[in-house]
Amino acid sequence: MFLKKKWLVVSTVFTVAILLTVVGKWAVDTVNAQGGYEELRTFTEVLGHIKRHYVEDVKTNDLVVGAIRGMLNSLDPHSGYLSPEAFKELHVEKKGEFGGLGIQIAIQDNVLTVITPIEDTPAHRAGILAGDRIIRISGESTKNMSLHEAVTKMRGPKGTAIIITIMREGWKEPVDFNIVRDVIKVQSVRSKMLHGNIGYIRLTQFQEPTASDLSSALSKLKKQGMSSLILDLRNNAGGLLSSAVEVTDLFLPPKKLVVYIEGRAGDRVEYFTEEQKADYIDIPMVVLVNQGSASASEIVAGALKDWNRAVVIGVQTFGKGSVQSLIPLRDGSGLKLTTARYYTPKGTSIQGIGITPDIEVKLEAKNGKEQPVVRQKGPLEVDEKDDIQLQRAIDVLRAWRVFETIRDRAA
């Protein structure tokens, strides 16, 4: 597969590991070359005044780290500074197991917002929903709190409790949720056969083994007689770019553009399906999305939509289409820096826009408010009648089958 192996891109969460060594001379030369030496001298002057005159003794390292955090936080919600511990821990999620509450978060409209709770995790069982606004963590306001700080505060040893304060649309007052942390083991692929030989596969995240697990699930469903497929990406907040490309590869012919990224200088990196492949799944297909579908989910949905490979059903997706590069620093810490944006094969920007479904299906409203995705009682106890988005997908596939039958008769 045509992938740039030295770049590992994440979404919420995409990672590009860039092997750089950042040294003081390089930083000064870079600033000086861009005409910013005077500003750097002012920074040094301020640092000196604080060290000499501030009412309390302050460690230089704390001041420098604070300045770096402030500098990165001023750029966008997804850029930030990672301590050595946080930088090391960030690589754990891509393996599919980490400690915490089990929620994917982002900063939306300057507010810490839940993209989605991960199924069968403490947050999911506690009743946290996509779109919830987290206004306090352990009593501390999340106003001006970076995404990385929030993640760090919510993670902790298994069995320890934390209180997060949630404000939900339609509520008059915020509510405290007391949640006990656990080791989060994410099963990214779940599947079953629905009535009428319709295969149903739900992807909860895009991790390293996701494409392989998905391939196995597809093989099992094919043996059971699957004639059409529903790929459910609702409340899937994303994951690895490489995984998104590998998943899309299972449904498209060879040498098809899946996604491309473009940086400030106009440099473009393209990701294609494999040049040579024995087979791919070529049956009628529907992709389900919602406001909790982000990042890698939007890449997959966008590619399948652009190539007319699947009908996309649901509501507008989240719109997380920026690329974060992880830059390791000398002391083991790192920078998470937004360096590019994602575009679908037809050149549609995902950032801040999302993927528009071919068929919009909003969930039934109560009291004028759109309801969240129907909760599942177990891993895949899908109630087709209660889930109107899923029901519409089934109806579309049934109609698809009728049209194919008529076409075959005409031939």
Instruction: Tell me the Cα Rg of the chain.
Output: 23
Q: Angle at the Cα of 293 (from 292 to 298), degrees rounded to 5?
A: 155
Q: Could you say which of 146, 243, 295, 333 is catalytic? A: 295
Contact criterion met (CB below 8 Å) for 87 and 65: no
- Whether 320 is catalytic is yes
Catalytic residue from among 132, 249, 306, 387: 306
Q: How many CB atoms lie within 10 A of CB 275?
A: 9
Nearest Cα to Cα of residue 324 among 313, 339, 310, 335: 339
- For 200, the token pair is 């149903």
Neighbours of 353 (CB within 10 A): 14
Beta strands in 31-102 (DSSP E): 80-82, 97-100
Virtual torsion, Cα 308, 375, 172, 148, nearest 10 deg: -70
Cβ–Cβ under 8 Å, residues 122 and 98:
no
- Look up residue 192 and give its two tokens: 């079953």
- The answer to whether 285 and 229 have CB atoms below 8 angstroms apart is yes
306 included as an active-site residue: yes
Catalytic annotation, pick one of 293, 320, 325, 336: 320
Q: Name the nearest CA neighbour of 329 among 72, 10, 4, 59.
A: 72
DSSP helix, strand, coil percent of the chain (3-state; round to 5): 30, 25, 45
- As a whole number of angstroms, the distance between CA 185 and CA 95 comes to 9
Element (H, E) at 125: helix 122-126
Active site residue 188: no
Q: Which residue numbers are catalytic?
A: 295, 306, 320
